Structure 1
Amino acid sequence: MRYLFTSALLFISIFSFSQNIPSKDVQIKTAILAAPEAQRAEAKVYGYSSSGDFITLREGTNEVICIADEPGNSGFSVACYHISAEPFMARGRELKKEGKGFQEVFDTREAEAKAGTLKLPDSGSLLNVMTAKLEDVNWTTREVANSYTRSVVYIPWATSESTGLPTGPAGPGLPWIMDPGTHRAHIMINPAKD
Structure 2
Amino acid sequence: MKKTLLFIAIMAATTISVTGQTKTNIPAPEIQIKAAVLAAPSDKRAGATVYGYNQKGEFTQLRKGTNEMICLADNPKQKGFSVSCYHRDLNPFMARGRELRKAGKAAQEIFAAREKEVKSGKLKMPGQPTTLFVYTASDDDFNAATGEVKNGYLRYVVYIPFATAESTGLPLKPEGPAMPWIMNPGTHGAHIMINPPKDKEGQ
Q: Give TM-score, length-normalised by structure 1.
A: 0.90
1:186 aligns with 2:180: no
1:145 aligns with 2:144: no
Aligned-pair CA distance for 1:123: 2.7
Q: Which residue of 2 aligns with 1:119?
A: 124
Aligned-pair CA distance for 1:131: 0.4
> Would you tell me which structure has more helix in proportion to its own residues?
1
CA distance in 2, matches of 1:189, 1:125: 14
Conserved 8 A contact 2:48-2:65: yes
Question: How much identity, in percent, do the aligned residues show?
Answer: 57
For residue 47 of structure 2, the aligned residue among 27, 42, 48 is 42
Aligned-pair CA distance for 1:150: 0.7
1:16 aligns with 2:15: yes
1:92 aligns with 2:97: yes
Deviations 1:81-112 (A, max 9, x none): 00000000000001111110100000000000
Q: Which residue of 2 aligns with 1:53?
A: 58
1:136 aligns with 2:135: no
* Greater displacement, 160-169 / 19-28: 19-28
Deviations 1:136-160 (A, max 9, x none): 1122332111111110001000000
- Other structure's SS at 1:161 match: helix
Aligned-pair CA distance for 1:43: 0.3
Aligned-pair CA distance for 1:19: 5.0
CA distance in 2, matches of 1:48, 1:75: 16
- Other structure's SS at 2:15 match: helix
Q: Which residue of 1 aligns with 2:178?
A: 173
Q: Report the aligned-residue RMSD.
A: 1.6
Provide closer, same or farther for how the CA distance between residues 145 and 193 of structure 1 changes in structure 2, counting only shifts above 3 A: same
* Greater displacement, 21-30 / 138-147: 138-147
Provide closer, same or farther for how the CA distance between residues 37 and 122 of structure 1 changes in structure 2, counting only shifts above 3 A: farther
Conserved 8 A contact 2:36-2:50: yes
Aligned-pair CA distance for 1:15: 4.0
Q: Which residue of 2 aligns with 1:4?
A: none
Aligned-pair CA distance for 1:13: 6.1
2:189 partner letter: R
CA distance in 1, matches of 2:62, 2:192: 29
Gaps of 5+ in 1: 1-8
- Other structure's SS at 1:60 match: coil
Q: Give TM-score, length-normalised by structure 2.
A: 0.87
